[in-house]
Amino acid sequence: MSDRSYYTYITASRSRVLYTGMTNSIVRRNRQHKARKTASFTAAHRCTRLVWYETHATPASAIAREKEIKGWTRARKIALIEDTNPHWLDLSEAWNRVPQYGDSTTAAAPPSRTNVFCPRRKR
């Protein structure tokens, strides 16, 4: 049995154009969508917000789910997204940002004294 995960996901633009896909690396694939370096549907429509995803144990199950969702109506896809992400937040935002001290959304430890830059005051 493999420890590898596979993902079915939906990205959206600000105007809520939807794209459904499948990948074996959600972080890498999300960065590719955000970079918009290739001439693709997601680049043309600026589908850069990861609004929904689920994990699968096999590529076959992720592909089957992708095909299932692609066959749905837009209303059904929106209901799926809003069931877990009612405000259409970009679920990947936390993956790429640097945790700040006191940030309640991360488990970052407070900075140690040796890592903090404190300029000396001029006398």
Residue 107: its H or E element: none
Q: What share of the chain is helix, strand, coil (3-state, %, to 5)?
A: 35, 15, 45
Which stretches does DSSP call E strand in the chain?
6-12, 18-23, 49-56
Query: What was the pLDDT predicted at 99?
Result: 58
The model's pLDDT over 31-86, given as tens digits with 9 standing for 90+, comes to 888 888 777 888 788 888 999 999 999 999 999 999 999 999 999 999 999 999 99
* Radius of gyration of the CA atoms of the chain, in A: 19
Strands 18-23 and 6-12: antiparallel
Residue 69 CA to residue 105 CA, distance in Å, equals 30
Q: What is the band of 101 on the pLDDT scale with cuts at 50, 70, 90?
A: low
All structural domains of the chain, each given as residue ranges with its CATH number in brackets, are: 6-96 (3.40.1440.10)
pTM: 0.73
CB contact set of 47 (below 8 Å; sequence gap of 6+): 11, 12, 13, 17, 18, 19, 33, 41
**Residue 50 burial (10 A CB sphere; 0-12, 13-18, 19+):** buried
User: What value, to the nearest 5°, has the Cα angle with vertex 13 and ends 10 and 14?
Assistant: 135
